Amino acid sequence: IRRPPRSTQSRSSAASDVYKRQILGGLLFSLVLVHVFDHFGTLYLAAVLNLSAAGLVALAFRRRLLLGASVAATAAWAIAASWFDLDTISTSIQYPGQRIVFKGNSPYGRLLVTETSGQYNFIENGVRLFSTENIEEVEQTIHYAMAQRPEAKRVLLIGGGISGTAREILKYPRTAVDYVELDPLIIKVAARLLPEHRPQARVEVINTDGRHYVRRTKRRYDAVLIDVPDPSTFQINRFYTREFFAEVKRILAEGGVLSLSLGHYENRLSEELAKLIAVAHRTLSEQFRNVLILPARRNYFLASDGPLTMDIAGALERHGIGTQVVSRRYLRGVLSSDRVADVRRAITEDAPLNQDFSPILYYYHLRYWMSQFSVRLGLLVAALAAILLAALVRIRPVSLAVFTTGLAASALEVVLLMAFQILYGCVYHQVGLIVTMFMVGLGLGSFSMNRLLARCGRRALVGLVFAVALLGAALPGVLSALGRFADLPSLAILGQLVILALTAGLGLLIGLEFPLAAKVDFASVAATAGRIYTADFLGAALGALVVSTLLIPLVGVTVVCLTMAAINLLSVVVLLCTSAPN
């Protein structure tokens, strides 16, 4: 008996089943797996599930060779996973010549501690936070700033205290230290590995996000020392922005000094490093009357509304502060006239400002980092442009709509993650929740549209694309409003809920679109699912990479959101101009 032919609606619903299964997998990962397995455990599980699926398909289609290969691969993978600690092996390859002494996860990231010749290196999420026994860096971090205010009574140290900097500040007898460290696991591991570096009587350890603390504290400080890595991520860039410097200025006592470092100056000042220096100097100068750059092993920036001096050695000698490395002879070399002249030439008044929602310093640091290798950012941009052009040359109107909404969804989700981080602190332990809300929105949208397909058509698809454009256009205003109330603890929870709701709403629109697009542009189940799925994935991939790497740093969040709105409005126009079925 032949089955009656299925309607276009039911066949398009079958095409969207691919999307629903992806959503279910995403929800399973966000809600369960991320809390149960580490990254390698998740990879093991994904490998076993896919190999098992391959075996079931081979069994269903009676492909004995494929079935045997699937069983053999599963057995080999299980043996390898049980006999070899691939996590340790891969970490050892990543950090050759270093002994791994600790690996662990916390709500703030993956902490790794390695040891080389008695020096411990603390690395979180792939970024080196600090190394112990590095007396040169410890003394420079502390004494360049403290020599400006040797009588300081209270100092705020953000990051790095376990490396020895907190203890070094105590050489100034009248000074008490508030040491802010985000991850309590760092303090816990350091207490076991480095008992001599435990915080002492005049050091108060505060486990919270440094930016969050500066925004909320009522205390006043004579010096604020920022000891964080270079701005290689949006998370770290928050400590180099105009908004953060304004927040620091608010908690500085009269004539107080801010200190931070950026980039390594070895024998010459490269073009990429010069741009880093120029942006940092311009941004600091927006808030402080005096900015001094000391081109030592790292480039140290001192900023204050009070006087600043380069006579570091003289100030240390007058107050009897003993040092091992930072001496008059050492400073004569690193602060030589030619080095100082180099960094002064790098300063330009037309350098762009580094801001929370326009993190240009992050982009310049990426170029600075890539300049140390053979990779060129221009080649990456050209390759992405070629892929985009090839994909769009013959794309159909409905697939174009799916592509542009996928692009916007990915871009706006990056914006929302970044905004959450800037306004409410470290986002690491909230990423799962934000991604989950997006996946929940996708699931609800897809589920709902499959029940509304009979009543919806091309006009509804146009409306969904237009709604995505409206969300992109409205987002900068919403984030600006949330930023004005971010300092109020009573409204912080409400602001976080707003961002989660926006994320879920964005996912809802995309989830509604996919089944409808499959119906409007239906050819066959396989062809339709493949075409629309490809358009969605290509848009999402380009959105995540290009927006986070290039567009947000170069043009800022507002322009990115408005650009996504404009692209989707163009898609609306194309759909309206091609109203006839494809």
- Would you please indicate which residues are annotated as catalytic (active-site) residues? 227
**Sequence-separated (6 or more) residues with CB below 8 Å from residue 177:** 154, 155, 156, 157, 161, 166, 169, 170, 202, 203, 204
* Structure-block tokens of residue 132: 């112990």
User: How far is it, in rounded angstroms, from Cα 172 to Cα 149?
Assistant: 10
Which of 531, 507, 373 has the alpha carbon at shortest distance from 16? Answer: 531
Q: Which two tokens stand for residue 346?
A: 């790098």
3-state class (DSSP) for residue 555: helix
Cα–Cα distance for residue pair 515/513, rounded to 1 Å: 6
- What are the start-end ranges of the H helices in 163-297? 165-169, 184-193, 210-216, 234-237, 242-251, 271-285
Residue 151, token pair as written in the block: 């009588």
From the list 118, 105, 92, 107, the residue with the least C-alpha distance to 189 is 105
In whole angstroms, what separates CA 57 from the centre of its chain?
39
* Environment class of 578 (CB within 10 Å of its CB; exposed 0-12, middle 13-18, buried 19+): middle
232, 137 contact by CB (below 8 A): no
Residue with tokens 């691969």: 73
Residue 441 tokens read as: 């929105």
Beta carbons within 8 Å of 370's beta carbon, 6+ residues apart: 376, 377
d(CA 388, CA 513): 22
CB burial string 114-146: b at 16+ within 10 A, e below = beeeeebbbbbeeeebbbbebeebbbbbbbbbb
Burial label for 562, CB within 10 Å (0-12, 13-18, 19+), is middle
| Residue type for position 443 | G
* Closest listed residue to residue 228, CA positions, set 291, 186, 174, 196: 186
| Cβ neighbours around 415 below 10 Å, total | 25
Q: What is the CA radius of gyration of the chain?
A: 28
